[in-house]
Structure 1
Amino acid sequence: MRVLICPDKFAGTLSAAEAAEAVAAGWRRVRPADELVRRPLADGGPGFVDVLAAAQPSGKRFPVRTADPLGRPVDAEIFVLGDTAYAESAQACGLHHLKPAGGPDRRDPLHASSVGLTALLLAAAGVPGVRRIVVGLGGSGTNDAGVEMLAALGHPEPARAFGRPDPGRLGSLDGVELIGATDVDNPLTGPRGATRVFGPQKGATGPVLDDLEAALVRVAAVLGPQVAETPGAGAAGGLGAALLALGGRLVSGITLVREATGLDAEIARADLVITGEGSFDEQSLHGKVIDGVAGTARRHEVPCYVLAGRSTVSAAEAAGAGVTAVESLVDTFGTDRALHHAEESLILLAAQVAGRFPPR
């Protein structure tokens, strides 16, 4: 068989590339004659730049020094191909920069800032010949709608509405088209907005959630409903809304990556597609990697298996999205082993799945 292996990251344990290699290693143990094609993916979140750079080796990476959600220096990079620069918001304001609880670097979205994205945008705009900047949105540890970034680019009103300081103008993006590649379709506020859906995983609970939502409601009033209610405005803690406020537009991150990597053609040639991510949940079916992969596989009538760290999606929901079968590390090996021995467990799980296919 020709097997296409195209997972997203297993957040906190494996990168998309590491997950793809683990699946391939397990599959080869049982079916060494199969042709394995590895295409690690991202949907706008962590790994976005790496995936695009790997698919387009003629491009060039540029290092950028910026700040994490707590203002600490951090190394990031942009990727430039032709007249387009690609940046990844998570490199500056990603959740992976913060600890789940305790200590000065704990997750605290009431104070975490996404102003670090400013340096990436200005660096991209400063590369000669760049006319377009595509920003991957996802995996953020912030919930501030990018208000300090907006202030740094000459729009201080949202920062005042949020109650954040104005860092002073650092530059502008004049003459550059701005595109946000989102991993979700949530609006800025409301029950499906940035705070209510994603705030808890970033450390917000109880009254803090209410305070954050109230702050974003004030920002939404400044930005207007045409921004705040747009699908994807709530991506990356509201950075989707910030890019819209700068005159940009939003696109599906996985659709953009599919086109850049030639994924649809690879799926059409495959006999089987294997995708996956750390947590296969309800959000996975709203603009994330598995949603894009499974939907494409269904159109080409190719079976699609999901190997996940954990899964809370029902069989009916998965089938409705084009998923043939779901296997999880937690269900197979238990939570402790899934978390602390993810690579080994994924290798074994892939081998088990491969063993269910008859020899050819």
Structure 2
Amino acid sequence: MRVLVAPDKFAGTLTAVEAAEAIAAGWRRHAPDDELDLAPMSDGGPGFVDVLHATLGGELLVTTVEGPHGEEVPATVLHVGDVAYVESAQAIGRHLVTEGGAEFATTVGAGELLLAALGTGATTVIVGLGGSGTNDGGAGLLDALGAVADAGQLDGGPVLFAGLSSVDLAPARAKVAGVRLVAATDVDNPLTGLFGATKTYGPQKGIAEDRLYEVDGWLEQLAEATDRRTSLVKGAGAAGGLGHALLCLGAVREPGIALVAEAVGLASRARAADLVVTGEGAFDFSSRSGKVPYGVAEIAAEALRPCIAMAGQVLVGSREMRALGVENAYSLVDLVGEQRAFEDPVGSLQALGERVARQWSRE
């Protein structure tokens, strides 16, 4: 039996690569003769570069960039042929932002990472968005690339946008001239408003409920000073508005999961399999919003192959599961308990893989 194993990361415990390996190790305990094809996945957030490197190979270039609060943080650029891939979360991830610090956090490091990618000579640069702790509309990135504000500051978080009325984007656009720039994102929110970056994701980043209106107003100022029309485009609100900055520079937006799936040849690999296995930390109905399990399940359906999921927690019923294109979903917490699932995620996922293999393998 041929099994395609294509999970996302299990946030906080396992990378997508580690998750795929753990599922495969457990599966082989029961069905050692099954042929397992490991295709760790990403939607553009944390793990984006590692996932692509695991499948595509290429050269990893290590650099140091400015973190959200001015500290130095390590980051990597993946260079494959004439394409460079970067993961914005390495520079501005939620794990790098202090509690309640999103109002002062900058995306300058994401801009420096983009400059490092441009320095490879790549003709296409793909920026993975997701998992950010910042909420500055990408102003720091624009600053790093040379954009100039008439007043206020672009490089210190949205709290410093006071007085901002215009931003000269020409120097930044000149830096990316002749390069195809792609924003890989799993969300389609605009920059501002009821469904914008601040109102939707601000609370996850520690912005207090009573601060959301004012912070959103600061991003409205940035939108007016840069390109109001662009701020309304789907994906402009990705990564705290980093999508807006990239779109202002001429980037095209592509769903992260679709981009990764194409890069790793997931459709043809699904057609060659008898069963497709995906997974993530928490499998719930939000998985439909461009997340890995839904994207993998869609590809499995197109290939006329059944798709199942393994997750830290399964928070949907059978009806919702079917709506997501998944035959069945299996929970680590249900099998081993929450404590063990967090203390020994590899062993727990191996145990789950073994149990699921007993049900699905032909051995």
Tell me whether the two structures share a fold, i.e. TM-score over 0.5.
yes
- Residue of structure 1 equivalent to 2:306: 303
- Equivalent residue of 2:326, what SS? coil
- Residue of structure 1 equivalent to 2:111: 118
Larger displacement relative to structure 2 (208-217 or 108-117): 208-217
Larger displacement relative to structure 2 (119-128 or 297-306): 119-128
Larger displacement relative to structure 2 (256-265 or 326-335): 326-335
Q: CA deviation at 1:124?
A: 1.5
- Residue of structure 2 equivalent to 1:77: 76
Where do 1:129-168 residues align within 5 Å?
130-157=122-149, 162-164=158-160
| Contact kept in structure 2, 1:64 and 1:119, CA below 8 Å | no
Which TM-score applies when normalising by structure 2? Answer: 0.89
Q: Structure 1: 5+ residue runs without aligned partners?
A: 99-104
Larger displacement relative to structure 2 (304-313 or 244-253): 304-313
Where do 1:152-191 residues align within 5 Å?
152-157=144-149, 162-164=158-160, 172-191=175-194
Q: CA deviation at 1:22?
A: 0.9
**In the superposition, relative to structure 1, how do residues 336 and 268 fare at CA in structure 2: closer, same or farther (>3 Å)?**
same
- Residue of structure 1 equivalent to 2:45: 45
Which TM-score applies when normalising by structure 1? Answer: 0.90
1:219 aligns with 2:222: yes
Deviations 1:297-331 (A, max 9, x none): 11112111111112333432321221111122233
Distance 1:221 1:308 in 2: 42
Deviations 1:221-271 (A, max 9, x none): 334453122221111111111100111111111111111111111111111
| Contact kept in structure 1, 2:103 and 2:159, CA below 8 Å | no
1:33 aligns with 2:26: no
2:273 aligned to which of 270, 273, 278: 270
Identity score, percent = 47
Larger displacement relative to structure 2 (349-358 or 22-31): 349-358
Where do 1:1-360 residues align within 5 Å?
1-57=1-57, 59-98=58-97, 105-106=98-99, 108-128=101-121, 130-157=122-149, 162-164=158-160, 172-357=175-360, 359-360=362-363
- Return the letter of the residue paired with 1:14: L
**In the superposition, relative to structure 1, how do residues 298 and 225 fare at CA in structure 2: closer, same or farther (>3 Å)?**
farther
**In the superposition, relative to structure 1, how do residues 265 and 358 fare at CA in structure 2: closer, same or farther (>3 Å)?**
closer
Deviations 1:96-151 (A, max 9, x none): 334xxxxxx435211121110111111121223x2221111111111111112212
- Equivalent residue of 1:62, what SS? strand
**In the superposition, relative to structure 1, how do residues 321 and 118 fare at CA in structure 2: closer, same or farther (>3 Å)?**
same
**In the superposition, relative to structure 1, how do residues 61 and 219 fare at CA in structure 2: closer, same or farther (>3 Å)?**
same
Q: CA deviation at 1:197?
A: 2.3
Deviations 1:143-170 (A, max 9, x none): 111112212323344975944379x989
Distance 1:327 1:210 in 2: 40
| Contact kept in structure 1, 2:159 and 2:215, CA below 8 Å | no
Q: CA deviation at 1:72?
A: 0.9
- Return the letter of the residue paired with 2:115: L
Aligned pairs, how many? 351
Q: CA deviation at 1:44?
A: 0.7
Distance 1:321 1:84 in 2: 32
**In the superposition, relative to structure 1, how do residues 215 and 315 fare at CA in structure 2: closer, same or farther (>3 Å)?**
farther
Q: CA RMSD in A?
A: 2.3
- Return the letter of the residue paired with 1:21: E
| Contact kept in structure 2, 1:69 and 1:114, CA below 8 Å | yes
Distance 1:327 1:204 in 2: 34
- Return the letter of the residue paired with 2:18: E
Distance 1:358 1:120 in 2: 44
Distance 1:240 1:318 in 2: 30
Larger displacement relative to structure 2 (323-332 or 72-81): 323-332
